[in-house]
Chains A and B, each alone.
Chain A
Amino acid sequence: MRNAVVEVLDVTKTYPGGGARALDGVSVAFAAGTFCAVMGPSGSGKSTLLHCAAGLDRPDTGRVVLAGEEIGTLREPRLTQVRRRRVGFVFQSYHLMDSLSVWHNVLLPQRLAGVRPDRGWAKDVIRRVGLAGREDDRPARLSGGQRQRVALARALAGRPEVIFADEPTGALDLATGREVLQLLREAVDGLGATIVMVTHDPAAAAWADRVVFLADGRVAGELAAPTADLVAARMTAVSAR
Chain B
Amino acid sequence: MIRLAIGTLRRHRGAYAGTFLAALLAVALLSGGGLLLASVLTATPPADRFAAAAVVVSGERAVTVETVTHKKKKDKDKVKRKVKTERLTGAGTLPTGLAARLADLPGVAAAVPDLAFPVEVTAKGRALRGADGAPVVGHGWASAGLTPYTLRNGNPPGRGEAVLDADLAARAGLTTGAEITVTSRTGVRALRISGIAAPAGRDGLPAQGALFVADTEAAALSGLDGPTAIGILAAPGAGDLRAAVEAAIAGQAPAGQAPAGQAPAGQANAGQANAGQATAGGSTVVREVTVLTGDDRVRADLPGALPDYIAPISIFGFLIGITAFAAVFVLTGTVTLGVRQRLRELALLRTAGATPGQLRRLLSLESLLLAGCAAIPGAPLGIVAAETVAARFRRLGAVPPQFTVQINPLVLIAAAAAGLLVTAVAARIAGRRAARIAPTQALTETAVTPAGGQFTRVLSAAVAAGGAVAVLTFVPLGGPFGMGMSFVSSALLLCAVAALGPIAVRPLTAVVSRLLGAGPVGRLAGQVTRAEPRRVAAVAVPLVLMFAINATMLLNSRMLTGIAAGEQAARTAPATAQVTAPQGLALSTAETVMAVDGITGAAATIPTRIVVVAGGKPEDHAAQGLLITGTQPALDLGFTAGGLPDGGFAASRYLAGLYDWTVGQDIELRLADGHRVQLRLTGVYDRSRGFGDAVLPAALIAAHDPRGLVRGISVRYDPGTAERIRAAGPGVIVTPSSATEAAGDAQEQQGAWELMVAVTLGFTAIAILNTFAIATTGRRREFAGLRLAGATTGQLHRLAAREALIVVTAGLALGALITGIVVGTFSVAQDGVFRVIVDPATYATMAAGVAALGLLAGVLPARVLLRRQALPALTDDQ
Contact = CB atoms under 8 A, between A and B. Distances in A.
Interface of A: 47, 51, 56-57, 76-77, 80-81, 83-84, 89, 91-93, 95-100, 104, 108-109, 111-114, 138, 140, 143-144, 154, 158, 166
A224 to B, nearest CB: 29
A116 to B, nearest CB: 10
A84 B789 contact: yes
6 contacts: A76-B792, A95-B784, A95-B788, A98-B782, A99-B532, A112-B524
Nearest to A54: B788
Contacts of A56: 788, 871-872, 874
Interface in B516-557: 520-521, 523-524, 527-528, 531-532
Contacts of B524: 100, 108, 111-112
Nearest to B877: A93
B787 A80 contact: yes
B445 interface: yes
Contacts of B248: none
Contacts of A112: 520-521, 524, 786, 789-792, 795
A108 B789 contact: yes
Contact of A97 (B786, B792, B793, B794): B786
Nearest to A154: B789
Interface in B720-753: none
A100 B527 contact: yes
A36 to B, nearest CB: 20
Given A91-B874, A97-B782, A111-B523, A138 B788 contact: no
Contact of A140 (B445, B781, B782, B791): B445
B876 interface: yes
A109 to B, nearest CB: 4
Contact of A109 (B790, B793, B874): B790
B599 to A, nearest CB: 77
A80 B789 contact: no
Contact of B520 (A83, A111, A143, A166): A111
B531 A100 contact: yes
B100 interface: no
A80 B874 contact: no
B243 interface: no
Contacts of B794: 77
Contacts of B786: 97, 108, 112
Interface of B is mostly: helix
B438 interface: no
Contact of B448 (A76, A98, A104, A154): A98
Contacts of B479: none
Contacts of B871: 56-57
B795 to A, nearest CB: 6
Contacts of B788: 56, 89, 91, 95
A92 B531 contact: no
Contacts of A76: 792-793, 870
Nearest to A109: B790
Nearest to A99: B531
Contacts of A95: 781, 784-785, 788-789
Contacts of B532: 99
A1 to B, nearest CB: 27
Given A99-B528, A111-B523, 6 more contacts: A57-B871, A76-B870, A77-B794, A81-B792, A97-B785, A111-B520
Contacts of A144: 444
| Residue of B445, B528, B785 with highest tally of chain A CB at under 10 A | B785
Interface residues of B, number: 31
B531 A51 contact: no
Given A56-B872, A99-B532, A111-B520, A140 B447 contact: yes
Contact of A138 (B531, B785, B789): B531
Contacts of A83: 790
A83 B786 CA distance: 13
A99 B531 CA distance: 5
Given A56-B874, A97-B786, A77 B792 contact: yes
Contacts of B528: 97, 99-100
Contacts of A100: 524, 527-528, 531
| Residue of B528, B786, B788 with highest tally of chain A CB at under 10 A | B788
Given A56-B874, A93-B876, A99 B790 contact: no
Contacts of B787: 80
A108 B786 CA distance: 8
Given A98-B447, A114-B520, A77 B789 contact: no
Contact of A51 (B870, B874, B876): B874
Interface string B283-303: 000000000000000000000
A112 B794 CA distance: 11
B20 to A, nearest CB: 27
| Residue of A77, A81, A158 with highest tally of chain B CB at under 10 A | A77
A143 B790 contact: no
Contacts of A143: 444
A111 B527 CA distance: 13
Contacts of A113: 790
Contacts of A89: 788-789
A92 B876 CA distance: 8
A166 B532 CA distance: 29
B874 to A, nearest CB: 7
Contacts of A51: 874
Given A80-B792, A96-B785, A99-B531, A140 B448 contact: yes
Nearest to B787: A80
Nearest to B790: A84
A109 B786 CA distance: 8
A81 B447 CA distance: 29
Nearest to B444: A143
A113 B876 CA distance: 25
A239 B429 CA distance: 51
Nearest to B784: A95
Contacts of A108: 524, 786, 789-790
